[in-house]
Amino acid sequence: MGKALIIGCGGVASVTIHKCCQNSEVFEEICIASRTKAKCDALKAKLDGGKTKISTAQVNADNVNELVALIENFKPDVVINLALPYQDLTIMDACLATKTNYVDTANYEPLDTAKFEYKWQWAYRERFEKAGITALLGSGFDPGVTGVFSAYAQKHYFDEIHYIDILDANAGDHGYPFATNFNPEINIREVTANGSYWENGKWVETEPMEIKRVYNFPQIGEKDMYLLHHEELESLALNINGIKRIRFFMTFGQSYLTHLKCLENVGMTSIEPIEYEGKQIVPLQFLKAVLPDPATLGPRTKGKTNIGCIFQGIKDGKPRTYYIYNVCDHQECYREVESQAISYTTGVPAMIGAMLLMNKTWNKPGVYNIEEFDPDPFMDALNQWGLPWQESFEPELVD
Ligand code: NDP
């Protein structure tokens, strides 16, 4: 059917690339382009021989001209941005210049401020619409599948959704006292920031990790979970009818939190550059360099993830609750694509989002969050491509 350019070759990209190769009817040709070309070449060597034709390239995704040259040379139908949130805008600029569709899994965040927001990417709406191309924002799991679950609940089960709780549990154990499951810099910026949730039309801000609940997750059991700010809250608050409150909770073990507190207390999680032996270094970037590379956690991680949404609202005048979630097993993911479940749960939806743009199932020019599209084809594809979902109409609620 067509060609995809995948930018980045880290944990998430590796899963997306494996999945594109499994789906060679749609992804006839892919180009893997990243800062370190050797990583792209190593993955190509592993996957070559299948039906999808693979090429590789070196690119600095902070540089629009380099991106434009690469896109003009390869002529993809879609660019899948799996680099870091800092590159979102340059890649969107290059897509505009070349009239190419765009998909990502994380919203833009300036390098020097730990504050991710959609406003920068939403500012491209008119230009994408005029160019006749689509930007699909947030096609990972959260954001991503959580938005699709919300659109699905809205379409099939509710007239109005009043409350959404997004619950993200990782019961995986990698055996290290402290490591992060995806890019440590992005992960630590997210969890050390203030928490917040949306209630009655405005944001309520909390201290980091201030709100804790215990939840009994299907197939995992009881876990401590903490309220975080998370990017899909911003778009879901606007796109779901009748919403009164939306919160996001993520599980963390005590060892992770104790290490994080200690690193924070000694200044290692700061993003303010400091001078060290005549050189400017950012403590958090240095910390990233000494922590285990998330890509190496795959073979060591055992256990499951459970990510889903609990909805409360009204259907035909009656109150209704609905819980929809996916459970993923770290070791099964590793056996299939040599990655743990965190990368898997993000990389599979990125492939699905790109597929739905390529085969024109989702076809509207502009910049959209994932819940603004018809959820049904995505829900079918989740079952088909390794992230089957389960539902319950009498879930335990979060107080
Ligand atoms: P990694 O750090 O493993 O991979 C990032 C990749 O991007 C690396 O290959 C890196 O190159 C490359 N890269 C970074 N900067 C540049 C640049 N300037 N030019 C070209 N390539 C660059 O990250 P992950 O795979 O864990 O995460 C990828 C994205 O997925 C992130 O944006 C993250 O926020 C998002 N994510 C989304 C989730 C969701 O559910 N929606 C969940 C988890 C992650 P190099 O190899 O040289 O370092």
Domains of the chain as residue ranges with CATH: 145-337 (3.30.360.10)
Q: Which residues of 51-75 are buried (b: 16+ CB within 10 A; e: fewer)?
A: ebebebbebebbebebbbebbeebe
Residue 113 has pLDDT above 80, yes or no: no
Model confidence pLDDT, tens digit, residues 321-352: 999 999 999 999 999 999 999 999 999 999 99
Ligand 1 center to residue 191 CA distance, Å? 17
**12 Cα nearest atom in ligand 1:** 25
Residue 234's pLDDT is 95
- Residue pLDDT, tens place only, 273-288: 999 999 999 999 999 9
Q: What is the pLDDT of residue 187?
A: 84
C-alpha neighbours within 13 Å on the C-beta side of residue 219:
17
**394: CA distance to ligand 1 center in Å?**
37
Ligand 1 cavity residues, CB under 6 Å: 8-13, 34-36, 39, 59-62, 82-85, 87, 105-106, 140-144, 182-183, 186, 294, 346
Atom of ligand 1 at shortest range from CA of 60: 19
CB-facing half-sphere around the CA of 399: CA atoms within 13 A: 3
Cα distance from N-terminal residue to C-terminal residue, the chain: 48
- pLDDT tens-digit map of 49-61: 999 999 999 999 9
pLDDT of residue 114: 64
Distance from the CA of 354 to the center of ligand 1, in angstroms?
A: 17
Res 306 pLDDT > 90 = yes
Predicted structure pTM score: 0.95
Of how many residues is the chain composed?
399
Could you tell me which residues come within 8 angstroms of residue 265 by beta carbon, excluding any fewer than 6 positions away?
none
- Separation of CA 296 and ligand 1 centre (Å): 15
Given the CA of residue 140, which atom of ligand 1 is nearest to it? 41
pLDDT band for 101, please (50, 70, 90 cuts): very high
User: Which residues are CB-neighbours of 45 under 8 A, at least 6 positions away?
Assistant: none
Atom of ligand 1 nearest to the CA of 84: 32
